[in-house]
Amino acid sequence: MKTKIIILSTYDIYITIPLLNKISIDERIDLKKVFFLRDKSSLIKKIKILLLLNFNESLKLIRIYINSILDKRKYFKKNILIDVNSNDLISKINHLSADLIVCINCPQILNEKTINQINAPIFNFHPGDLPTFRGVLIPFFLLKYKVENACITYHKIDKYIDKGKIINKKYFPIIKNETILSIYEKIFLSENSYEFIMDSVINSKNTYLEEKNMISNYYKYPSILEILKFRFQKR
């Protein structure tokens, strides 16, 4: 029997949409609906992300963007919802009767009321080793602090940000000349990652990994000064 899922995500044609395209044709999954949420990040935060890309990555993203305009068949219909915590969205989700809700790069935080009103368990794929690397732009901090491994964590969502019970993890070695974008691609788009994501979704159970007294840190967007130092540091 197929696992019926709803996905909450951002409309990101570089990482998220290629992953969703694969999920949509996977015979193990009954993808009931993808709800795209508005990214409420400020212009300054978006500029910071662009500053973190190298020249070749910028060209690559431009090519992907042009292709998305020329061939819209490869992309989901762009229907962006404003608020993940709206009563209208909660009603739509419950009407679809999914087995579970999966957040993949969801740009908004579900509040406690929404979590309690949705009639299905809610899970998230986080691009960092929880609870040590909570927050945003985790690949930046992995490279900044010269961490040896990247990680994707599958966890249950609760009212605290990135603090829900951990169900599964997968690690990926960070190699020489790795970039922020290449780490995101490794975490979400590699074959090993995809099988981990599918296995986690299909076998979602109330069984959790034992947490071994790991330090919990929350990372916010880096400052412009941090980004400039990062761009010129030797790695």
pLDDT tens sequence across 92-150: 999 999 999 999 999 999 999 999 999 999 999 999 999 999 999 999 999 999 999 99
User: Phi first, then psi: what are they for 201, rounded to 5°?
Assistant: -70, -45
CA distances from 74 to 57, 132, 166 (A): 21, 36, 33
Q: Looking at the predicted structure, is the pLDDT value of residue 61 above 90?
A: no
pLDDT value for 75: 63
Structure tokens at 154: 């599958």
Question: In angstroms, rounded to a whole number, what is the distance separating the alpha carbons of residues 39 and 46?
Answer: 10
Contact indicator for 157, 116 with CB cutoff of 8 Å: no
| Residue 117 burial (10 A CB sphere; 0-12, 13-18, 19+) | middle
Question: In angstroms, rounded to a whole number, what is the distance separating the alpha carbons of residues 138 and 220?
Answer: 9
pLDDT tens sequence across 68-93: 777 766 667 778 999 999 999 999 99
pLDDT tens sequence across 151-185: 999 999 999 999 999 999 999 999 999 999 999 99
Question: In angstroms, rounded to a whole number, what is the distance separating the alpha carbons of residues 126 and 134?
Answer: 8
Give the CA radius of gyration of the chain. Answer: 18
Residue that the structure tokens 């400052």 belong to: 223
Contact indicator for 40, 108 with CB cutoff of 8 Å: yes
Question: In angstroms, rounded to a whole number, what is the distance separating the alpha carbons of residues 163 and 115?
Answer: 14
pLDDT value for 13: 87
pLDDT value for 93: 97
Q: Looking at the predicted structure, is the pLDDT value of residue 41 above 90?
A: no
Question: In angstroms, rounded to a whole number, what is the distance separating the alpha carbons of residues 54 and 196?
Answer: 29
Q: Which domains are present in the chain? A: 3-232 (3.40.50.12230)
Range among 53-57, 109-113, 210-214 with highest mean pLDDT value: 109-113
The full DSSP string for 36-83 is EE-----HHHHHHHHHTS-HHHHHHHHHHHHHHHH-GGGS----EES-
Model's pTM, two decimal places? 0.92
Q: Of 4-18, 66-80, 195-209, which range is least confident?
A: 66-80
